[in-house]
Structure 1
Amino acid sequence: MRKSKIVITIITLFLCFKGIAQFNQNSEKQIVVGKVDSLYSKILKEQREIWIHTPEDFNSTKKYPVIYVLDASQQFYVITGMQKQLTPFKIPQSIIVGITNTDRTRDFTNTNVPFQRGHESETSGGASNFLKFINQELKPYINNKYPTENNNTIIGHSTGGLFVLYSYLHHENSFDNYLAIDPSLWWDEENLVKETQELLNKGNRKEKSLYIAVANSIGKAMDTAKVRKDKTVPTEQIRANLKFHDLLVKNNKEINFKWEYFENEDHGSIVVPAQYNGLRYIFSWFPFPEMWRFNTPKEYSAKELTEPFKTHYEKLSIQMKREVKPDWELLNQVGFFMLDGHNLPKKALAYLELNADFYPNESKSFVALGNYFLSQKNKSEAIDNYKKAVGIDGNQEAQAKLKELE
């Protein structure tokens, strides 16, 4: 009996060590969502940890919008997963910066209330300093390390949502897009709500996007009409948000906003659907609206197929405050798909010429045109385009084609 116990023990230990060895081997393969970084803040007088996520096909020659996410330890994984699902067709690929907490109440609240809802909050009221840290220290740090676009978004939940709205109202030029998820507007007897109208009368927010998601924090206890009349503590959160909603509606000609009530979500569960809807809203200008035309190109003229590209990227350029072009490879593939897949040479040519209009200094634009004309047995046009390609940068493919043709 004793021998059998020893044998079992040895086998157990062997399996354990084998499992550990296998785990160590497997641990070399990791799923990496981002990296941890930090910077010292002279404003806050402390080291601040940040989590950074870059797109999977990150390219240092491209520029990316930046999404700043509060409460990184809770929200970072949600937003990075969301981006993976929605890019590249619904929202732009972005750099995500998660800001972890040291003193959440201090950083996210705009007024000092030493005792709130039965809890001490002596350090509260540091939102102004925290925003200075983001604007004056964190943003420059990120912009110096990464190729960033001039388009910034901030996302906050609960008290983080309160900070988002504080930023929107007091310092509207801090960000381009604001996502406040079930914001704690009840703070300090609705202080921020009370000053909203006065603040909306100042500044210009017409080019800013604001999305607010509100949870049903009272369940089926009462509907929103009764909530408005209620005075009890359980309805403080939703009551304050309803008042804020009314102020936004009153000023809707001066601001771009979407306010969404999630009847079937509570304060915790609202985060995922709100982030999804919020990202779709603030980047509603990004998706290419006419993609379905490519499925039935015979029904449209060449102009009807190519004009949406021009219009869409003109809008993107205005939104991003710089010239934005469609991906060269995308237009090239669409052009030759029209030729090889649909046998529509004139429409194929329209796309290839559009590509050359967008990229006149890229020799490959004219190599593609040369290849097109060669496929159509138009030798002279093919030669002219190959010569243009050689004239730009001595393109070797074009030189080889010219030797074959001349």
Structure 2
Amino acid sequence: MGINHFMTRVLVCIGFICINFCAMAQFSQNKDNELILGTVDSLFSKTLNEQREIWVHLPEKIEDGKKYPVIYVLDGRGHFHTVTGILKLLEKWNLPKSIVVGISNTDRTRDFTPTNVPFQRGHKSETSGGAANFLTFIEKELKPFVESKYPIDTMSTIIGHSTGGLFVLYTYTHHPDVFDNYLAIDPSLWWDKEKLVKQSEKLLSTSTYQNKPLYVAVANSVGVDTVKVRKLRSEPTEMLRANLNFHDILVKNKGHIEFTWDYQGSEDHGSVVVPGMYNGLRSLFSWYPFPERWRFNTPKAYTAEELTTPFYTHFEELSKRFKREVKPDWQFINDVGFFIVTSHKLPKKAQAYLEMNLKYYPEESKSYVAMGDYYVMIKKKDEAISHFEKAIAIDGNKEAQEKLKKLKK
């Protein structure tokens, strides 16, 4: 069919979702009162020689010109709802608004396994070993396709469970530059007699993995403690054993690897998915929350520097992570500044916030209008006139012209 641009609505019944996250996911609502979580899109892969379906969720109220991080979810049909629900619950303050791309399966064993094992655990798996091809599809075809159609940022995350988790760790160990964040849930590292684990001994000893956060959630489906299980050789215990062996390698290389190991001994292979995704996203984006933002509620407890310096530090870190300049919201900073001067009567501390907008938005005439208004409030006429004139010089700001005229009278 070639690359195709058809888009069909995915109408998801909230009653179908068995977790509370998605009960909140009122992302958009049409005239028939149907809740819409995303769209189904499709592209033809020359690498895989087949049409591949993807499910795409966009944030609510997309801002013109703004781009968003993208989260690629393996086993898309199974995990799309969970990830979008978690985002709905946590986005804005704990997680950045993101685009979710769920990748549907055609031959799961083929795509997620890095080596060919024709017969495994009593099942035929002749097509296994296609992980390299599947990664080529994602990197060379899917990512450019998504970038061409949706407002995605440079930051990307991949999530996979079970054999999907194996693929996540294959990508992390062999091609760490493809994604920025890696989330593997109870990965099937037992595959091919732990071959990927053995390869990791050498691969992870290099410094290639700096600034590539990894989160691994591991369940205990067999009820054997982590000390005894290392001595066993039974098939049911091989997954936990392999995962523990991989953990040992991560610990050896903790000096240059940023990883979180989340052992959830009370969960099994199926139940670990939801807590693994929740904890994993919180872990990978642990740098995103900004609790110091709320100091303005009790400004008397802090100096002006203590109120505003955390903003400069935090947004410098965000800019490094997103690989572009990230600024605090202009309106938020402006509102806080005037809140502190009107409600708390602390003009110097309010001024520190308004000066922040001058620093981050020097090209915006409104930054100078706001500062002019501040100086009018504290009865510093000359400073107010100076800032209104600066606003007018930028773009002829009409509001500034009116205020300047009134001041000069």
**TM-score computed with the length of structure 2 as normaliser:** 0.91
User: Which position in structure 2 is the counterpart of 1:400?
Assistant: 402
Pair 1:279 & 2:296 matched: no
User: 2: distance between equivalents of 1:382 and 1:366?
Assistant: 9
Give the structure 1 partner of residue 192 of structure 2.
Answer: 188
Q: What's the secondary structure of 2:36's corresponding residue?
A: coil
Aligned with 1:201 (options 205, 210, 234): 205
Q: State how far apart, in whole Å, the 2-side matches of 1:321 and 1:158 are.
A: 31
203-212 or 351-360, which deviates more: 203-212
Letter in 2 for 1:332: N
1:379 is aligned, of 369, 378, 381, to 381
Residue 258 (structure 1) aligns with = 260
Q: Distance in 2 between matches of 1:61 and 1:317?
A: 17
CA distance in 1, matches of 2:64, 2:243: 41
Deviation at 1:193, TM superposition (A): 0.7
Give the deviation of 1:292 after TM superposition: 4.2
1:216-263 Cα deviation digits (max 9, x unpaired): 1113xx211110111001101101000000111011112110111111
Deviation at 1:305, TM superposition (A): 0.6
* C-alpha spacing 1:27/1:112, structure 2 compared with 1 (3 Å): farther
Between the aligned partners of 2:44 and 2:345, the Cα distance in structure 1 is: 61
**How many Å apart are 1:210 and its aligned residue?**
0.3
Residues 158-211 of structure 1, C-alpha deviation per residue, up to 9 Å, x if partnerless? 000000000000101011100000000011111111111111134611110000
User: How many angstroms apart in 2 are the aligned matches of 1:55 and 1:399?
Assistant: 38
In the aligned structure 1, how far is the partner of 2:367 from the partner of 2:150?
29
The two structures, once aligned, show a CA RMSD in angstroms of 1.3
- The equivalent position to 1:58 in structure 2, one of 59, 62, 72, is 62
Q: Equivalent of 1:302, from 301, 304, 314?
A: 304
- Residue 114 of structure 1 is matched in structure 2 by 118
How far apart, CA to CA, are the structure 2 residues paired with 1:171 and 1:214? 22
User: Corresponding residue for 1:232?
Assistant: 234
- Native 8 Å contact 1:112 1:122 kept in 2: yes
- Matched residue, 1:87: 91
Q: Distance in 1 between matches of 2:137 and 2:338?
A: 50
Which AA in structure 2 matches 1:318?
K
Equivalences for residues 128-143 of structure 1 within 5 A? 128-143=132-147
For the residue of structure 1 that corresponds to 2:154, the secondary structure is strand
> Where do 5+ consecutive residues of structure 1 fail to align?
1-25
Question: Is the deviation greater in 204-213 or in 290-299?
Answer: 290-299
- Secondary structure of 1:205's partner? coil
Note the 1:245-394 alignment, pairs <5 A.
Answer: 245-394=247-396
1:216 corresponds to: 220
Aligned residue type for 1:105 = T
State the distance in 2 between where 1:60 and 1:113 align.
Answer: 49
Measured against aligned partners, the alpha-carbon deviations of 1:375-404 in whole angstroms (never above 9, x if no partner) come to 112222111111111111111211121222
Distance 1:195 1:189 in 2: 11
Greater mean deviation of Cα atoms: 173-182 or 196-205? 196-205
- Say if 2:73 and 2:103, in contact at 8 Å, map to a contact too: yes
Separation in 2, partners of 1:135, 1:200: 22
8 A Cα contact 1:217 1:237, kept in partner: no
Counterpart of 1:68 in structure 2: which amino acid?
A: Y
- Contact kept in structure 2, 1:172 and 1:203, CA below 8 Å: no
Partner SS state of residue 101, structure 2: strand
Deviations 1:2-38 (CA, angstroms, capped at 9, x unpaired): xxxxxxxxxxxxxxxxxxxxxxxx9811111111101
Post-superposition shift, 1:147?
Answer: 2.3
Amino acid at match of 1:348: A
- Which structure 2 segments of 5+ residues have no match? 1-29
Aligned partner of 2:78 in structure 1 is 74
- Partners of 2:85 and 2:392 in 1: how far apart? 44
Q: Does 1:124 align with 2:128?
A: yes
Letter in 2 for 1:334: V
Q: Which moved more, 1:392-401 or 1:99-108?
A: 392-401
Q: Could you say what secondary structure the match of 2:227 adopts?
A: helix
Q: Which amino acid aligns with 1:380?
A: D
Q: Is residue 163 of structure 1 aligned with residue 167 of structure 2? A: yes
Query: Are the aligned partners of 1:331 and 1:352 in contact in 2 as well (CA < 8 Å)?
Result: yes
* Contact 2:207-2:256 within 8 A present in 1 as well: no
The partner residue of 1:37 within 20, 41, 56 is: 41
Distance in 2 of aligned mates of 1:332 and 1:103: 53
More helix by share: 1
The one-letter amino acid paired with 1:191 is: K
Structure whose alpha-carbon radius of gyration is higher: 1
Distance in 1, Cα, partners of 2:391 & 2:70: 36
Give the count of matched residue pairs.
379
Partner of 1:4: none
Name the CA shift for 1:101/1:278 in 2 (closer, same or farther; >3 Å). same
**1 CA distance for matches of 2:345 and 2:32?**
49
Does the 8 A contact of 1:288 with 1:312 survive in 2?
yes
Whether the 8 Å contact between 1:262 and 1:270 is mirrored in structure 2 is: yes
CA distance in 1, matches of 2:137, 2:336: 46
